[in-house]
Amino acid sequence: MPSTHDGLIIGGGISGLALAHWLGLDANPGSWELWEASDRLGGTIGTDRTDGYSVDWGPNGFLDREPLTLQLVDEIGLRGMLEPANDQSEARFIVKNGRLHPVPFSPPAILTTGLLSPSEKLRIFAEPFIRARRDDSDESVFDFAARRIGRGAAETFVDPMVSGVYGGVAKELSLPSCFPIMREMEVEYGGLVRAMIAKMRQKKREQRASGVPKKKSGSAAGPGGRLTSFRSGLDVLVTRMGERFRPIIHLSRPVQRITRVGDSWQVTAAGCEPRHFSRVILACPTFAAARMLHEFDRELAVALDAIPYAPIVVVATGHKREDITHDLNGFGFLIPRTQRMRCLGSIWTSSIFAERAPSGHRQFRTMLGGAGDPSVLDLTDDQLWQTIRRELDPLLGIKANPVFTRIYRWQQGIPQYTLGHRERRAKIEQLAARHPGLSVVGNAFYGVGLNDCVKMAHRLAQVIQKTNAVPA
Ligand SMILES: Cc1cc2nc3c(=O)[nH]c(=O)nc-3n(C[C@H](O)[C@H](O)[C@H](O)COP(=O)(O)OP(=O)(O)OC[C@H]3O[C@@H](n4cnc5c(N)ncnc54)[C@H](O)[C@@H]3O)c2cc1C
């Protein structure tokens, strides 16, 4: 009888690595292993360093509001290398009629913004008087926003925000799954403005009681947190975790099949003999997990496969400062679908993190595609490039070709929490629960941000530790 190992984590993205951390597998690995299909760790996290540019392939940071992520960073000894977004990158812009407009963050700014018509502005101010919808049925992000702040503001602010975070379409994505806090604000306080006022009052009370002024929340990252990374790029996090878990990591080991044999899980990867584990954690995209489980539990495989993913293309460009007219004081801009442009938005990377471009140069990262434009994957490098030039150059006053370009195509880049996501997730959890020792973790369930992945991995580690690693 082949020996049975303690456990296997499948997937070496942030979810799998964070799980290894929370399980304490650096100090006490037992006979746990982590198998990763590709020849590197990190999944969508990666950084290229060339010609003085440091370019993130996918995510460029995390919001500093999640204590568990900060705890993880601390525990792996990286706290001193954290780099918060620059204060000068606080302003954000939205494109309308070929111009960049600052996002109005205050009532006076809403009154004067060129982004909305007078009636659209009035409609925003009516938000506190809109009756709350308290039933728990699903609602799209767009419908929620249109109902509370009006259609114009939903198209101008919420639609591009959803493209920016999820690469998704606001009319298709589920509000309670994507932005549960907004749903809570309506249910608990009766509306967004009422909730904000109540929260501000509570904060003041807490401040008065403790005597300690609270840190400003809502900053260069937008509301509720500051974008944070590491000085030379986000892959620092993955590299450090790779060092800590080196003894248990096996790269270039794509899992093909999982099945139950007696009391253990038999896992087969390309080019290896099948191995046996007491516990298996799927920390890979759901479409990959579905392929592994297809023969063993077709129903679970179908449920996993029902979570759609959107493609996203990141085009990073480096420019000489003197070739750009715009002052670039800000975070970047988003483009509402109503503007009929192909780019979703552009981040001014070197305004946010100064060391990402050599002195006298600037870096931008522009996103295209998303669920609303999957055919972007068919564009050649040259076509992508022409699109960016046509759409970005007039907005920023770019007068010459970039000196540096990198293109990253993510075919199934970001899971989409479309309407019905809660039911799809519950079904996966219910079907997986039939199999002792089999669990799922990752960005397809409770949030796509790095913080969400770290948090879900923490919750799962607690469950595993409670059941003492070996299922009954
Ligand atoms: C362009 C882009 C920009 C983003 N920007 C941000 C941002 O700024 N901030 C933020 O918080 N989040 C951002 N995100 C989201 C965030 O990056 C992801 O949600 C998160 O990194 C997902 O981590 P994960 O470990 O769950 O999955 P993944 O990173 O997808 O990792 C899964 C791993 O499983 C492996 N795998 C797949 N199949 C197999 C197999 N058969 N056997 C073994 N291993 C397998 C894969 O190779 C991969 O390494 C962005 C995402 C994208 C695509």
Mutate to test the pocket of ligand 1, among 443, 445, 458 (most ligand atoms within 8 A of CB): 443
pTM here is 0.94
Tens-digit pLDDT profile for residues 413-462? 999 999 999 999 999 999 999 999 999 999 999 999 999 999 999 999 99
* Rounded Cα distance, 317 and 4, in Å: 49
**Cβ density class 358-383: b for 16+ within 10 Å, e for less:** beebbbbbbbbbbbbbeebeebeeee
- One-character DSSP codes across 413-438: EEE--BTTHHHHHHHHHHHHTTSTTE
At 64 the pLDDT is: 95
Question: At 106, is the secondary structure helix, strand, or coil?
Answer: coil
Superfamily of domain 104-215: protoporphyrinogen ix oxidase, domain 3 (1.10.3110.10)
User: Is pLDDT above 80 for 328?
Assistant: yes
pLDDT band at 207 (very low <50, low <70, confident <90, very high): confident
Q: Per-domain residue ranges for the chain?
A: 4-42+233-308+418-466, 104-215, 310-413
DSSP bridge partners of 404 = 318
- Which residue, chain included where needed, has tokens 């969400």? 452
What's the average model confidence in pLDDT over 37-60?
A: 97
Each residue's pLDDT tens digit, 209-238: 877 655 544 444 445 689 999 998 999 999
Tell which residue, 24, 53, 10, has the closest CA to residue 289.
10
Residue 179 CA, ligand 1 centroid: distance in Å = 20
| Type of residue found at 19 | L
Q: Which long-range contacts (CB under 8 A, 24 or more apart) does 103-106 make?
A: 103/157
Average pLDDT over residues 342-360: 96
Cβ 44 under 6 angstroms from ligand 1 = yes
Ligand 1: distance of its center to the CA of 65 in Å?
Answer: 20
Average pLDDT over residues 362-383: 96
Q: How many Å is the Cα radius of gyration of the chain?
A: 23
Confidence at residue 271, expressed as pLDDT on a 0 to 100 scale: 86
C-alpha 58 chain-centroid distance: 9
> CA–CA separation, 42 vs 437, rounded Å?
25
Residue 379 CB–ligand 1 contact under 6 Å: no
Domain 310-413 architecture? Alpha-Beta Complex (3.90)
- Report the run of H or E that residue 445 belongs to, with start and end: none
The type of residue at 5 is: H
For residue 10, the CA-to-ligand 1 centroid distance in Å is 13
In short, whether 448's Cβ falls inside 6 Å of ligand 1 is yes
Nearest CA to ligand 1 atom 39: 37
**Two tokens, residue 188:** 């608990």
Report the alpha-carbon distance of residue 217 to residue 355 in Å, rounded.
Answer: 24
**In this model, does residue 369 exceed pLDDT 50?**
yes
Residue closest by Cα to atom 4 of ligand 1: 59
pLDDT at 1: 61
Local confidence band at 203 (pLDDT 50, 70, 90 cut-offs): confident
445 phi/psi in degrees, rounded to 5 = -120, -60
Which one of 17, 44, 57 would you pick to mutate in the ligand 1 pocket, going by the greatest count of ligand atoms within 8 A of its CB? 44
Task: Give the CATH number of domain 4-42+233-308+418-466.
Answer: 3.50.50.60
Mean per-residue pLDDT of the chain: 94
Please name the residue that has the structure tokens 């949030």: 447
Quick one: tokens of 31?
């006979």
Question: Is the confidence at residue 294, as pLDDT, over 80?
Answer: yes
Q: What is the pLDDT of residue 196?
A: 86
Query: Which pLDDT belongs to residue 218?
Result: 45
| Residue 470 pLDDT | 44
Q: Which helix (H) or strand (E) holds 75?
A: helix 67-75
Residues in contact with 1: Cβ distance below 8 Å, sequence separation at least 6, in sequence order: none
Question: Which whole number is the average pLDDT over 261-282?
Answer: 95
254 lines ligand 1 (CB under 6 A): yes
Please tell me the distance between residue 17's alpha carbon and the centre of ligand 1 in angstroms: 11
